[in-house]
Structure 1
Amino acid sequence: MAELLHVPEIVTDAGDVTLRSWQVTENQPYAATDTLATVETDKAVVDVEAESAGVVVTTLVDEGSTVPVGAPIAVLRASDEQVPDLPALLRQLGVSAPGEERAREPVPEPSGPALEPSRAAPDSRQHTPGDPSSPRIEGQGRVFASPLARRMARDAGLALDDLHGSGPGGRIVRRDVEAAIADRTGAVESRTPRPAPEVPAGQPAGQPAGEPTGQATGQPAGVTEVPHTRARTAIAARMARSKQQVPHFYLRDTLPVDELVRLRRDLAAQTSATVSLNDLLIRAVALAHAAVPAMNVIWTDEAVRAFPSVDVGVAVATDAGLVTPVVREADRMSITAIAATVRDYVDRARSGQLRQDELEGGTVTVTNLGMHGIEEFSAIINPPQASILAVGAAREEPIVRDGRVEVATLMRVTLSVDHRPVDGVVAAEWMSAFRALVENPLRLLV
């Protein structure tokens, strides 16, 4: 029997995804576990796999569309099934083909106290309760819209009742709001009289002016604007929320890392594994968390949540923005296993192939700008984690030991901590444990 393919609940707090690409075409058979479509969340690119073998009857959403989680995106059938009447099947399933116009009917006036009349209901079809594709009426004159579309409309001063939804079931999505904003901007510009251009000195009156420069739009010539990506928007929102709502405090230390550098060099010479200084620091962070379990926590509205193992996030820079895949149970992994896991994460992060579950969880993140020559910096905590370690460059510097000046390789680190679940004394104990591991790095191999 034909059935709908819905956008899976990839992550609980994701209201919308972008359908990045279809991996199948209409009337194409597929096998179980084959990838049918690729969707993009705020954090990752995720493949939607088939649960069983079948054939794609028709797709319901075009590539590049923003789709609410749970919405239908295609109609599937069994391999031995035929669909003689596609429009009838679509009506039976309660969906519409891409681009199909939906009639709008007035919302009947309710009995009881008079309310402000609504303009129109978004859809005249009979909707099935619980069907995420149904543009259900949530109140008098209120249409169904994605959270992002609601926020954009509110920020732009647009009424949802004035917008036409092009999403599944008539749902208002981002592109609808963007189109309305563009239409409004064009209408305002067409009604605004433009002053006559000044004629430059020496130019005869009536001679056509030259081509307009960037000054005509209020921007200097040559200025360009790059629209925000989903990832960049999500990063900006999370970091702003973290800085505003999480009470940060900072601990700084300068660590001698000569022994750590020597250990890395010995591992490279004696094994085939490629281990970086950052891999060793991830292992040191994990063991320090295990030694000071009061740091291996996060804050929730109900309680401080502690974890039995240490999951460490690793900040990875990509063209789309910063992502933080999580190394699970890093306190129980060998240094070579950590190095292999991080290398795999970096490769897949830069090609947009990380899974959503690989980006969730963790209590601490390691972010390293030392390879860019940055001496010291402070990082913003990645919620709901409770801390983040910012690592600077390892440099040779003069130090004083036993009254004598020597040259040592030093590294500056800054620990940002959420003061709600972690007190300053606990963080100081953690920094001492971390320093001891860095100064005696053979303990990282145990």
Structure 2
Amino acid sequence: MAEIITMPRLSDTMTEGVVAQWLKKVGDKISEGDILAEIETDKATMEFESFSEGTLLYIGLKDGEGAPVDSLLAIIGTEGENIDTIIKEFNITVPIAENTSKKEETKTVTTEPTKKAPVVVEASQQAAIVNTGRIIASPLAKKIASEKGINLGTVSGSGENGRIVKSDIENYIPITTTKAIVNSSTVSVGEESFEETTNSQMRKTIARRLAESKFTAPHYYLMIEIDMDNAITSRKAINELPDTKVSFNDIVVKASAMALKKHPKVNSQWFDDRTRINHHVNIGVAVAVEDGLVVPVIPFTDLKSMTQIGAQVKDMAVRAKSKKLTPSEMDGSTFTVSNLGMFGISEFTSIINQPNSAILSVGAIIQKPVVKNGEIVVGNTMKVTLACDHRTVDGATGSAFLQTLKQFIENPVTMLA
């Protein structure tokens, strides 16, 4: 008996899925556990295995096509079995997206001309006769044209010296032609063009969640500048140890975890009916991928060494770029760190990854003149900005967290104990 396979819900936030690639084709023999296809969710691309045995009789979506969860994806049954009635009775949802589709359009336009003799320019689309020189029109004609949305440059005036009057506007009939007469002797012709790419499930989910966060959580921002001279020296000494490699981002993530333990209100989450203050620390680290941004989570970050944090972040970043992270590896964060310092960005603000209460934006280390012991010397500083949800984190609480964070980063040795 034929068995219907529907679009699976592969993550708790998934509402739609896209078939990235079918690994089986109609007519193939299917065993339980065989990988049927790769499905792109709002978070990652995952393998979808069969829980049935038989012959693949029908495929409801092509590669690159998408549909809501529970839409008809495939049918597995006995070879030669008639499935027409099953397909007809099933409520097949029309595919909503082709993941790799692109649209291109072009049109020919002319730049703003100088006031010289008329020149005729061929256009690729219909256009009106346009006078881009000085236009003479009565005040009443201008008012009526404005109300009707008529471009005076396309109106022929019947008054003295070509003056446009009320009757010209009232009797105006749009003129279409394949030539544009331009009042200019020097005309450059350019071509407008654009490209459209269908938004991926990940891109649409990112857009929806960021918009929800920005417009529901009352964000405010606290910025502090950190002296990085000692951190630079400490990192160099740490990395001279055998089998040890620590980045500045690893130092920041570890310092954030330890500061959160001292300021648990920053490690909180807002829900409509309650506020949750977490006593465990799971830091999400923002990673840029082709379709946008994912946030793999380091569970129990405060219990890990900087070396362990660095190894885990590197592994997750590599797998994130190839869409091999599982949804569980991107769930459960209590705080987020976003670092654009490697791109030369000195300071920026981030949108909170809800339901978390805060996110830390980390800028580049900048070498500049600083004052130490009453003297101007060359120093290295780094700006970090904490975005807070004012519903859960007051200004004094956020400020105290940043002071503790600053102490840890400026003295990495205190995090080695």
Coarse TM-score class (shorter-chain normalised):
0.7 to 0.9
Distance change (3 Å), C-alpha of 1:368 and 1:83: same
Q: Give the match for residue 344 of structure 2.
A: 373
Q: Whose strand proportion is higher, 1 or 2?
A: 2
Tell whether the 8 Å contact from 2:17 to 2:201 is kept in structure 1 after alignment. Answer: no
Map 1:277-356 to 2 at 5 A.
277-356=248-327
Q: Give the match for residue 197 of structure 1.
A: 178
Q: Give the match for residue 369 of structure 2.
A: 398
Q: CA deviation at 1:274?
A: 3.0
Worse overlay, 224-233 or 412-421? 224-233
Worse overlay, 224-233 or 351-360? 224-233
Runs of 5+ consecutive residues of structure 2 not aligned to the other structure = 99-124, 127-173, 184-188
Q: CA deviation at 1:31?
A: 5.4
Q: Could you tell me which amino acid in structure 1 is paired with residue 39 of structure 2?
A: V
Q: What TM-score, normalized to structure 1?
A: 0.69
Map 1:6-405 to 2 at 5 A.
6-29=6-29, 32-51=32-51, 55-76=55-76, 82-87=78-83, 91=85, 95-96=86-87, 102=88, 125=89, 134=90, 169-174=91-96, 195-198=176-179, 214=191, 221-405=192-376
Q: Could you tell me which amino acid in structure 2 is paired with residue 252 of structure 1?
A: M
Distance change (3 Å), C-alpha of 1:48 and 1:197: same
Distance change (3 Å), C-alpha of 1:61 and 1:225: closer
Q: CA deviation at 1:347?
A: 0.9
Q: Kindly indicate whether residue 393 of structure 2 is the aligned counterpart of residue 422 of structure 1.
A: yes
Q: 2:57 and 2:238 mapped to 1: Cα distance? A: 56
Q: Could you tell me which amino acid in structure 2 is paired with residue 75 of structure 1?
A: I
Count matched residues. 340
Q: 2:334 and 2:95 mapped to 1: Cα distance? A: 34
Tell whether the 8 Å contact from 2:267 to 2:278 is kept in structure 1 after alignment. Answer: yes
Q: 1:2 and 1:335 mapped to 2: Cα distance? A: 54
Runs of 5+ consecutive residues of structure 1 not aligned to the other structure = 97-101, 103-124, 126-133, 135-168, 177-188, 203-211, 215-220
Q: 1:445 and 1:6 mapped to 2: Cα distance? A: 51
Distance change (3 Å), C-alpha of 1:247 and 1:334: same
Give SS of 2:378's match.
Answer: strand
Give SS of 1:67's match.
Answer: strand
Q: 1:66 and 1:194 mapped to 2: Cα distance? A: 44
Could you list the per-position Cα deviations for residues 235-292 of structure 1 after superposition, in whole angstroms to 9, with x for gaps in the alignment?
Answer: 2222222222110111110001222222322232213233211112111111111221
Q: CA deviation at 1:320?
A: 1.1
Tell whether the 8 Å contact from 1:46 to 1:356 is kept in structure 2 after alignment. Answer: no
Q: CA deviation at 1:349?
A: 1.7
Give SS of 2:332's match.
Answer: coil
Q: CA deviation at 1:53?
A: 6.3
Distance change (3 Å), C-alpha of 1:76 and 1:271: farther
Q: 2:82 and 2:302 mapped to 1: Cα distance? A: 56
Q: CA deviation at 1:381?
A: 1.1
Q: Give the match for residue 141 of structure 2.
A: none
Q: 2:31 and 2:205 mapped to 1: Cα distance? A: 34
Q: CA deviation at 1:412?
A: 0.5
Tell whether the 8 Å contact from 2:339 to 2:361 is kept in structure 1 after alignment. Answer: yes
Identity fraction in percent? 32
Tell whether the 8 Å contact from 1:316 to 1:322 is kept in structure 2 after alignment. Answer: yes
Q: 1:70 and 1:352 mapped to 2: Cα distance? A: 23
Q: 1:255 and 1:342 mapped to 2: Cα distance? A: 23
Root-mean-square deviation (CA, aligned residues, Å) is 2.8
Q: CA deviation at 1:343?
A: 0.7
Tell whether the 8 Å contact from 2:350 to 2:360 is kept in structure 1 after alignment. Answer: yes
Q: 1:200 and 1:247 mapped to 2: Cα distance? A: 54
Q: CA deviation at 1:413?
A: 0.5
Structure (1 or 2) with the larger CA radius of gyration: 2
Q: Give the match for residue 148 of structure 1.
A: none
Give SS of 2:179's match.
Answer: coil
Q: Could you tell me which amino acid in structure 1 is paired with residue 372 of structure 2?
A: R
Q: 1:73 and 1:241 mapped to 2: Cα distance? A: 31
